[in-house]
Amino acid sequence: MDALALQTAASNATVLAVAGTFALFALFLSVTAHVAARNVLGDVEVKKAFAIGPAIAAVAVVSTTFGFNSFLALGIALALDFLLARFLYGQSDRLTAYVVFIHFVVSVIVGVVLFGLLVILSSAPV
């Protein structure tokens, strides 16, 4: 077997880890998208948010895999969030931009809180 093939071959554990990370991140982004849309638009269908989360998570996974610039990936993710929210909720550009801004803010706040809890729990004595 070629040494290069051994170094570049993805194991089943790696594929499972990437798939699990993608699924959890897509779920996280879907929930925060729904919270943002409900906050701005009122009563909205939850299934619309579950179309937004996986698309943005896919941008994150692809950009990380291929080593794209993080700011470029963030811009693409925000643009995709805007386009999907505009299409799914059918609101004006200004209101859609507000939904995307609230989605970004909610995602950052909830992400920081969850990461902080993870750090606190992982540093606890056994």
Work out the average pLDDT over 24-36: 95
Q: Does residue 52 contact residue 62 with C-beta atoms inside 8 Å?
A: no
Q: Cα(108)–Cα(35) distance, rounded to whole angstroms? A: 13
- pLDDT, one tens digit per residue, over 95-110 is 999 999 999 999 999 9
For the chain, the structural domain boundaries read 3-122
Q: Does residue 2 carry a pLDDT above 70?
A: no
pLDDT category at 7 given cuts 50, 70, 90 is low
- Which whole-number Å values give the CA distances from 57 to 24, 28, 38, 41, in the listed order? 9, 9, 21, 23
